[in-house]
Amino acid sequence: MTHSDPSPTGWNTLVQPSVAEVVRLLDVIGSEDDIIRRLEVCVDDLHAVQEAKATLATVEGPTLRAALVRRGRARAGGDGAANGAGR
């Protein structure tokens, strides 16, 4: 916004947006519920990551090393640990 712009929103109040721009803006507003739902899912995922990090911070070295080895093997197509085998 510049000093010559009389509108606090940045829109010049003397020039109306085109019909196409109004349609676009209505579409943006219409997507709000979906965006909020997706954001809630992301926040839930973030909480799960934070909980996992907090739990891993308490795991003792030998257990952590063994888990990292098992995870590496599973990613390389090894012992099937990716599906929970060998717990």
Give the tokens for residue 74.
């599973």
Mean pLDDT (whole number) for 81-86:
48
pTM value surpassing 0.75: no
Confidence check: pLDDT of 87 > 50: no
Please say whether the beta carbons of 80 and 72 come within 8 A: no
Mean pLDDT (whole number) for 8-19:
77
The one-letter amino acid at 23: V
Residue 2's Cα: distance from chain center in Å? 34
Where along the chain do its domains lie? 19-75
Per-residue model confidence as pLDDT tens digits over 49-80: 999 999 999 999 999 999 999 999 999 986 55
